[in-house]
Amino acid sequence: MHRSAPRLSRILACAAVPVMLVAAGCSSDSGGDKDASPSASASPSASAKPTVAPAAFSELPDACKSVKKKTVGSLVPEAKDKSGTADKSNDVSARGGCSWNGLDNKGVDGSQYRWLSVSFMRYESDQTRGPGDKLAGEYYAKQVAAVKATNGAKKVKDEPSAGIGDQATTVTYDLRKTDADFKYATVVTRTENVVATVIYNGAGYQGAKSPKAADLLKDAQKAAKEAVASVAAANK
């Protein structure tokens, strides 16, 4: 009879405290399970995040040398600077570009203007954002959308292009500027974690006809293939 009184007092005391405390201090009249180990009550540690694989390419080529001199000479006759004009970049391993332009004066037959540009964007793998090729793929899609939305562009056509990198899309359109009808051919391509964009356009002046869109596109694709090959060569 004398033993039951302390036990009854303990039960009544536990009934008066919050439920969460009951589980911690009143689950047993013996003061807890002596066999419970500290490791059994500890919360499981957070699982380690999977390691993101390094990006395939760590360097970019010299954009002004990414297209062969012979190709530049064919696409841009009478180029002002055959070596090209490099874009300004604060990190040449992440982004770079180059352009060429020239006016081929054919006398009474008028003049032909051509402009060619090549630009690169490289992405590193990131533990939070994901693999470099995934990030490049996202930029690739945005780049294609931006080209298609060029202000003032008419007769816009886009289609996938096989045989150029891992992904490639060609976009062609017409654009009226400087009192001339320009034809544009753009190739956006991704090779692993690098996106290369080749823009080629031209127009006829002084009575000369504008170049054919199909011819411009064929030449732009040739330049894009050389640009993609230069990425792999720069990372050997």
| Predicted confidence (pLDDT) per residue in 76-88, tens digit | 999 999 999 999 9
Stronger pLDDT, 4 or 132, i.e. the higher one: 132
- The type of residue at 114 is R
Residue 28 CA from chain centroid, whole number: 61
Q: What is the mean pLDDT of the chain?
A: 86
pTM of the model: 0.79
Indicate the burial class of 207 (C-beta count within 10 angstroms; 0-12, 13-18, 19 or more).
exposed
Give which of 177, 136, 185 is closest to 159, Cα–Cα.
Answer: 185
Range of weakest confidence among 6-10, 16-20, 179-183, 198-202: 16-20
CA distance 190 to 187: 10
In the chain, the domains with their CATH numbers are: 4-41 (no CATH), 63-234 (3.40.1000)
For 150-200, what is each residue's pLDDT tens digit? Answer: 999 999 999 999 999 999 999 999 999 988 999 999 999 999 999 999 999
In this structure, is the dihedral angle defined by the CA atoms of residues 19, 23, 27 and 32, taken in order, positive or negative?
negative
pLDDT tens, position by position, 131-145: 999 999 999 999 999
For 27-82, strand residue ranges (E) read none
d(CA 209, CA 188): 27
